[in-house]
Structure 1
Amino acid sequence: MLRKASWTIAFTLTLATGAVAHDAAGDKAKVTLVYDQALPNVSGKSMRSVIVEYAPGGSSPAHTHPQSAFIYATVLEGSIRSGVNGGPVKTYKPGESWSEFPGDQHSVSENASATEPARLLAVFVLDTSETELATYED
C-alpha cells in the first residue's frame, strides 16, 4: 500500500515540477504537464496533456486513471510497449497511438528499448476537479 501512495504522490509532484519519479525497482519515467485548460464549451471538464519520458529500459507500474478520464496517447520518440485491461501488449513507434477509456487499467507502460530513450504525449479529457492523473497499484 505504501508503494501505491508514494507513486500517487510522486506523479502529482512530477506534474508540478517535471521531476523524475522512481519506482521500487529503480525504473524511471519523467512526467511533465505541458497543457491544462478548462473546456469552455463543456462545463466541469478539462483537457490536460503530459509528456512521459522513459529512460532506456524504463517503465511505469500498473495504474489506473480517473473514472472521468478519456486518454489519447501518441509516441513521439523511440518505442513504447503498452497494454490495457490485461489485453495484448503492443509496441508502438513514433506517430502511432492508442486510447484508454474511463476505468481502464494500464497494466503495461514501458520503453521497448534497453538502449534508447522513449517519449509519449498523453492527452486527457477529464473532470476539472481531478487532482491526480494516475493511481499506481501495488
Structure 2
Amino acid sequence: MIMRSILTVFLATASICTIAGSATYKPSDVVKQNFEQAIPNLPGKSLVAVEVEYPPGGSSLPHAHAKSAFIYAYVISGAIESKVNDGDVRVYRTGESWSEPPGANHSVSRNASKTKPAKLLAVFIVDSNDRELTTPLK
C-alpha cells in the first residue's frame, strides 16, 4: 500500500512537471518582418530584419537558424533571456545586443519579465534563396 502511494505521488509529480515544462516552451512570440533587401555588393546575399515581440513571460520555441544566416540581435525594449549553441543563458536589456553565427541553435529565447513586454530586432545576413530563417528544434 505504501509503495502504491509513493508511485501515485511520483506519477502525479511527473505529470505536473511535464505539463509545466511544455508550458514553458509554448510559443507566444509575434514575429514581423521589418525589412528585406538584396545586398548589391554581395551577390546572392540579402539583409532581412525581423521584430520579435514577447508578451510578459512569453517565449519562442527552441529553434535553429538558417545555415547561411549571420545574425545581429538588438533589444528594443524590456529584457530578453537567450542561450545560443553551448553558450550560457544570458539576459540582454534595452540597448544591448549580441550576434549569432550561421546555423546557430537557439535553445532559449524568451522575455525575462513576467510582468512587462519585451521586443528585439534580429538582423539576418543570409543567402537570398534561404527562405526558412528558423526551423524548430526537435
| TM, length-normalised to structure 1 | 0.80
Q: Which residues of structure 1 form unaligned runs of 5+?
A: 1-23
Which 4+ runs in 1 deviate beyond 4 A?
A: none
1:37-56 per-residue CA deviation (whole Å, 9 max, x = no partner) reads 00011100000000000010
CA distance in 2, matches of 1:86, 1:115: 28
CA distance in 1, matches of 2:28, 2:81: 15
Q: State, as a whole percentage, how many aligned pairs show the same letter.
A: 54
After superposition, the CA RMSD in angstroms is 1.1
CA distance in 2, matches of 1:27, 1:66: 19
CA distance in 1, matches of 2:29, 2:103: 22
Bigger radius of gyration among the two = 2
Instruction: Answer 1 or 2: which has greater helix percent.
Output: 2
Map of 1:112 onto structure 2: 112
Equivalences for residues 8-87 of structure 1 within 5 A = 25=23, 26-87=26-87
Map of 1:9 onto structure 2: none
Displacement after TM superposition at 1:72 (Å): 0.1
The AA in structure 2 aligned to 1:45 is K
| Counterpart contact for 1:27–1:57, Cα < 8 Å | no
Three-state SS of the structure 2 residue aligned to 1:61 is coil
| Counterpart contact for 2:79–2:94, Cα < 8 Å | yes
CA distance in 2, matches of 1:45, 1:27: 29
Map of 1:125 onto structure 2: 125
| TM, length-normalised to structure 2 | 0.80
Three-state SS of the structure 1 residue aligned to 2:114 is coil
Three-state SS of the structure 1 residue aligned to 2:29 is strand
Map of 1:90 onto structure 2: 90
The AA in structure 2 aligned to 1:106 is H
Displacement after TM superposition at 1:86 (Å): 2.7
CA distance in 2, matches of 1:103, 1:82: 16
CA distance in 2, matches of 1:78, 1:68: 29
Map of 2:12 onto structure 1: none
Displacement after TM superposition at 1:104 (Å): 1.4
